[in-house]
Amino acid sequence: MVNKMSEKKAEAEQPLIDAKGRRADGRKLDELRPIKLQVGNLSRADGSAYIEHGRNKIVAAVYGPRELHPRHLAQSDRVLLRVIYRMATFSVSDRKRPAPSRREHEISMVLRQALEPMLFLKMYPRAVIDVFIMVLEADGGSRCASVTAASLALADAGIPMRGLVAGVAAGKIDGKVVLDLSDIEDKIGDADVPLAMAPDRGEITLLQMDGKLTPAEFSEALRMGEEGIHQIQEMQRAVLLEKYAQIREKIGEDKDAPKEMEEKPEEEPKVTKKRIKRAKTEKKDAKPKTTKKSKSSKTKDEGSETKE
């Protein structure tokens, strides 16, 4: 059987950084690719998230805490976190065989270990929390984007967490340390450092590397990666806050809509404006608390709502 050529020869000969210091896709050395995040995108999962990171397209689903099968895997004092990373057969240039590969097994493991420190494992003894990650399209750095999505999906499922984890790779191309390697930069570059962190806790939860770097270059890659992760974390927070602002607006409408409708049926637009404003101010208040202690911040938000 003859397979399609996996790499275009022409691409390999092009420089990865041009004379003006711009990368092949026009980015600066320390610039992230465009990132789009969604939560609650999978209707049958308990929690879910979708990420587009560059051309990576990844969905993550979370189930649980739920009963564990097979039973003998149960741990009497803590929950089992099961993480499965899989690639769709059409997510890469040459069709991936449907059975899980060695690479997918290893990535599943490092992803599990990247997420586990954020959970309160002893809250759910004998149960399981399942995280299923499907890469629909891969474009370099899919394991890092998977961490970002999986962590969001866990938060979307309402599972208490110490913090959110986000991931991005740093690396070296054409002799320079850069942030967020694209597919081609990863394949023909000099080094790749996949990284995931809980940035507000200063904790590195996933770290791998291949290629060649001096210790100084490696620290620079780490610094750049952390900076990128801070930016991604802001986007994660924003998308979660957006979700809860929408829920709040919905609940608010249900509660007082009939009253207002009866009194002033014509002034609907004004009412919506007011409501959006309220949602915005609450958003600000809630910001530092949502990720750290979801339980306490929830009760506080509810309290402020009744006050108003």
Partner 1 sequence: MDVITEIEREQIISLLREGKRLDGRGFDDVRPVSVTQDRITKAEGSAEARLGKTRVLAGVKIQVGKPFPDTPDEGVVITSSELFPIASPTFELGPPGEQAIELARVVDRGIRHSNAISRSDLCIKAGAFVYLVLVDLYILADHGNLIDVASIAAVSALMKTKLPQVKITDEGEAEVLETTTSLKMGPPPLTVTFGKIGDSIFVDPNLAEERVLEARISIAIDGDDTIAAIQKWGATPFSRQEVTDCIERASKIVKKLRKQLPKG
182 binds partner 1 (CB under 8 A): no
CA 104 to CA 139: how far, in whole Å? 15
Quote the least distance from Cβ 52 to partner 1, whole Å: 11
CA 296 to CA 149: how far, in whole Å? 24
- Interface segment toward partner 1; rule CB under 8 A; list 16-24, 42-50, 205-213, 300-308: 42-50
Assess contact for 200 and 114: CB atoms under 8 A. no
Structure tokens at 100: 């899980």
Q: Which of 20, 44, 72, 284 binds partner 1 (CB under 8 A)?
A: 44
- Interface segment toward partner 1; rule CB under 8 A; list 60-68, 196-204, 211-219, 277-285: 60-68
Assess contact for 191 and 212: CB atoms under 8 A. yes
Among positions 224-243, residues that touch partner 1 (CB under 8 A) are: none
61 binds partner 1 (CB under 8 A): yes
Nearer to partner 1, 11 or 267 (CB): 11
Could you give the 3-state DSSP secondary structure of residue 250?
A: helix
Among positions 3-32, residues that touch partner 1 (CB under 8 A) are: 3-5, 8
132 binds partner 1 (CB under 8 A): yes
Could you give the 3-state DSSP secondary structure of residue 193?
A: strand
Assess contact for 205 and 115: CB atoms under 8 A. yes
CA 24 to CA 196: how far, in whole Å? 25
Phi-psi region of 133 (alpha: psi -120 to 50; beta: other; left: phi over 0): beta
- Interface segment toward partner 1; rule CB under 8 A; list 88-96, 111-119, 168-176, 291-299: 88-96
Binding site for partner 1 (CB under 8 A): 1-5, 8, 42-46, 48, 55, 57, 59-61, 63, 66, 84, 86, 88-93, 95, 98-99, 130, 132, 134, 136-138
